[in-house]
Amino acid sequence: MDLNFTPQEAAFQAEVRTFLRDNLPAEFARAVRDGDELPKALMEEWHAILNGQGWLATTWPKEFGGPGWTPVQRHIFEEECARANAPRIVPFGLAMLGPVLQKFGTPAQQAEYLPRILDGTDWWCQGYSEPGAGSDLASLKTRAMRDGDDYVINGQKTWTTLGQYANRIFCLVRTQTEGKPQAGISFILVDVDTPGIEMRPIRLIEGGYEVNEVFFTDVRVPASRLVGQENEGWTIAKFLLTHERTNIAGVGFSMQALDELKALARRIRRNAKPLIENPLFAARLAQAEIDLEAMKITNLRMLVRAREQGGPGPETSILKIKGTVVRQALNDLSRRALGPAAAPFPSEDLLGNASLVPEEHARNAARYFNNRKLSIFGGSNEIQRNILTKAMLEL
């Protein structure tokens, strides 16, 4: 396998780098680099910049307003954005709901919602997990009862990422209680300002606010908001989750984290030598880099296969597992490099290195704690291993 870019791909890489150099505001890159909580206005402005270039919906075909990129072009774009500290593209409308509507939505739904995702009119969030139904989504209990031309929804969703910014939420709801649990689930689109919806913040371990719990009390939603057929939402859910898990792998983020870790290990000195020369630390760093390189190759192979098959398959669980393990390993190595000063608010006597600043310690601590969730959301890594095992045994 030739892992080198073709001349055309190398030219595209140069084009992306030039675009980011000329169009990514310095204050945006600084906020991402420092691990700041990004305000909605910043993310919306970056989305608008990308949409103006035609580079926002990277997974969409041209007929729906996407760039129609090859898997390698998508890989290059994500890698260069991460390296430039560009704000991430919020995935819920673009990388999750968009492909669902393109495959399962009616022409009317596609015409109504897809342009609004692109131009930023709508900000979507995801209503999947519940207090008793996280990785085991089939046990969800939020009910949607048909009442004339409406569905009436009652229940609760949790871990709703960036829901505080959203004006719409796509939900899995139970429309049938008989038979297999998976057979009674439907996929429906809901306006967040509908009467009966309450959203409450959940504070994370590092102090950030990016997830919420959402309560539905007699929420009336037009039946025209149902995507696909009633009681067939499980098929849609599985399709959406394969796209989500590919996104969670975060190859570009890991590559940027590796570069930062190497720079940190060169600046920190232990026993009068740079930490990167410590044999044990260097071995751990080498193993993380080897795993990341292997994952990059696997990611490209699966992107090509997804294009050929019309969508990702169960093998995306491999990316989800390995991608999150690699990112957490890099975060852990940064913590080890900082030593006692890895505390979120280290005292001056713990810093002990003139080449480091307190903000750098706080940034690494916040990233370490926040990314502990990576191996849980999108279906825990234990669940992903079950999916892979089942797929292998059914071959």
Question: Measured between alpha carbons, how far is 276 from 265 in angstroms, rounded to an integer?
Answer: 5
Question: In whole angstroms, what is the distance from residue 391 CA to residue 395 CA?
Answer: 7
Q: Which residue is it, tokens 């090509």?
A: 304
Distance in angstroms (rounded) separating the CA atoms of residues 90 and 96: 10
Between the alpha carbon of residue 12 and those of residues 5, 167, 296, the distances in Å are: 10, 35, 18
**Residue 109 CB-half CA count within 13 A:** 21
9 is catalytic: no
Q: How far apart are CA 351 and CA 341, in angstroms?
A: 6
Question: Residue 271: CB partners within 8 Å, gap ≥ 6?
Answer: none
Work out whether strand 124-127 and strand 168-174 pair parallel, antiparallel, or are unpaired.
parallel
Among 80, 210, 244, 315, which one carries the catalytic annotation? 244
CA distance 124 to 90: 9
Q: Which amino acid, one-letter code, is at 250?
A: G
- Can you read off the two tokens belonging to residue 99? 């492909």
Instruction: Return the exposure string of 251-286: e unless at least 16 CB atoms fall within 10 Å of the residue's CB, then b.
Output: bbbbbbbbebbeebbebbeeeeeebbebeebeeebe
DSSP state of 54: T
Q: What is the CB neighbour count within 10 angstroms for residue 200?
A: 12
Length of the chain: 395
Q: Helices 251-267 & 279-309, crossing angle to 10 degrees?
A: 170
Active site residues: 244
